[in-house]
Amino acid sequence: MQSIGIIGVGSYLPEAIISNAEIGHGAGVSDEWIVRKTGIHERRRAAPHEATSDLAVQAAVRALRSAGLTADQLAYVVVATSTPDHPQPATAALVQHRIGAKRAAAFDVNAVCSGFVYALKAVQKLLAGAEAAEPRYGLVIGADVYSRILDYTDRRTAALFGDGAGATVLGPVAPGLGLRDISLVSRGDAHHLIEVTAGGSRRPPSPRTLTDGDHYFRMDGRGVRDFVTRALPDETRRLLRRAGVPADAVRHFVPHQANGIMLAELWPGLGLHRAALHLTLERYANTGAASVPVTLAEMHRRGAAEPGDLVLLAAFGGGMSLGIALLNWSMDPPAAGARPTVPRLLAADDRVAPVAP
């Protein structure tokens, strides 16, 4: 089958920067408490007129420009989100229309914060099996606006999330480059760990659900940590064995930006001793399905990865879901002088989350 890889990246973070002090006031916690518990210093918030599709469109345009393609060359537009503009139609349909991707099929994927990796596998398989005469490019976007579903009096969740969108363009790449293997795991028996209990067909909106705050995001932080601590290392080792790749061969690790302290605790046990850990949560917090592609875009802008470098992506989220992808990087670094300042890399032997002021 044709090798499919990432040939363009882009991201969009809203302009409004929300400090820990602003978040902490409503939740009854301090800036110091938020940094100590999460490693997060600030996050972005969508403007009142911005919905998930607006962020996704901005990231999509930038990714297409990065790939040197026009929207009418796309065969697929897929948006991974758990905060769609509305229940229907799919947010991807709005994005497809606004960017002018007239030949593309458009659909959403909801695996919560793992959604981008799930969508990546779907589009990879669709493109790899396409007929030669068909368009051979797909746009995979992760986008979320969590600011609209947070209870800002809940200190367990209020500080963790930000709004943003990240996009990648997938297309044919040279043999030896591109996506090598993707592992998807679902644990429906643990679905209660992350949820928004009202607003769907089981509990439609009503005065009671509004009064009770059941449209807000809720999370069992301890349960999520236990799931990730068990599942992520095991599935990472399983995927690397299946791919025949030693852990020391991985050069870059791009995880879901859930919580800097949790990632710092997980990092040493993954065995990726020669990999750089890429983090953006200091500035952007947890942007849901956007966090992996946003961080990928930052990695590329920094010029950190060279063609052929082994990159491991890992995302986890509600459901419970887990998605891990192994790829050989397929983009040249940006030209010298075109690399803006981005959050630093952690060395593989660092033991603490980055918490620079």
Give yes or no: 256 in active site: yes
Q: Which residue has the tokens 């299946």?
A: 242
Q: Where are the beta strands (DSSP E) in 241-309?
A: 252-255, 276-278
How far is it, in rounded angstroms, from Cα 329 to Cα 308?
5
Cβ-in-10-Å burial (0-12, 13-18, 19+) of 95 comes to buried
The H or E element containing residue 164 is strand 163-172
Q: Which of 110, 259, 286, 328 is catalytic?
A: 286
How far is it, in rounded angstroms, from Cα 104 to Cα 169?
13
Q: Which of 20, 41, 110, 256 is catalytic?
A: 256
Residue 176 CB contacts under 8 Å (≥ 6 apart), including other chains? 3, 308, 328
- Distance from the Cα of residue 344 to its chain's centroid: 18
The H or E element containing residue 294 is helix 291-302
How far is it, in rounded angstroms, from Cα 193 to Cα 317?
9
Residue 60 CB contacts under 8 Å (≥ 6 apart), including other chains? 10, 71, 77, 95, 99, 139, 141, 167
Give yes or no: 286 in active site: yes
- The DSSP output letter for 19 is E
Give yes or no: 192 in active site: no
Nearest 5°: phi and psi at 234?
Answer: -65, -45
- The DSSP output letter for 135 is -
The H or E element containing residue 158 is none
Q: Which of 20, 110, 113, 328 is catalytic?
A: 113
Question: Catalytic residue positions?
Answer: 113, 256, 286
